[in-house]
Amino acid sequence: MKAPPKEADEKLLVEAAQSDPRCFAELYEAHFEHVYAYVARRVRGRADSEDLTAEVFQQALANLAKFEWRGVPFRAWLYRIAANAIADRWHLRSREQGSLAGDSSADQKAQIDLERAETRARVYRLVKSHLRSNVA
């Protein structure tokens, strides 16, 4: 992995990127491997790691104007964005799985209701045929 830029150099890179987004490429190159490794250790699968890493840098570029230099490495800000993106992805998947489970339980309930209705119909037909045979 590449060594991160020195603090003074990194501050200049951030300021340059804030003035001209084309300069963000240098920040991307300097931090990509570290952010990717951070994400990859926390999620399953290469595709998810790649997607989330791309999302981190997309969000960083979109919000770069809001970044304030406080003497903390720029990478710490990227890690925070990554942690939030990972949490958001986890929550989204949990909701999706919950709704799928909800759908299957609704399907199971509908199946049980259908089976009950069929059973009632069979019982009704049996009772009705029994009554007819006893009346005649």
Average the pLDDT over each of 61-65, 111-115, 123-127 and give the range with the smallest value: 123-127
Q: What share of the chain is helix, strand, coil (3-state, %, to 5)?
A: 85, 0, 15
Q: What is the pLDDT of residues 49-98, one digit of tens each?
A: 999 999 999 999 999 999 998 989 999 999 999 999 999 988 888 877 76
Cα separation, 102 vs 10, in Å, equals 49
| Domains by residue range for the chain, with CATH | 7-135 (1.10.1740.10)
Assess contact for 2 and 33: CB atoms under 8 A: yes
Of 39, 68, 67, 63, whose CA–CA distance to 51 is shortest? 39
pTM above the 0.85 mark?
Answer: no
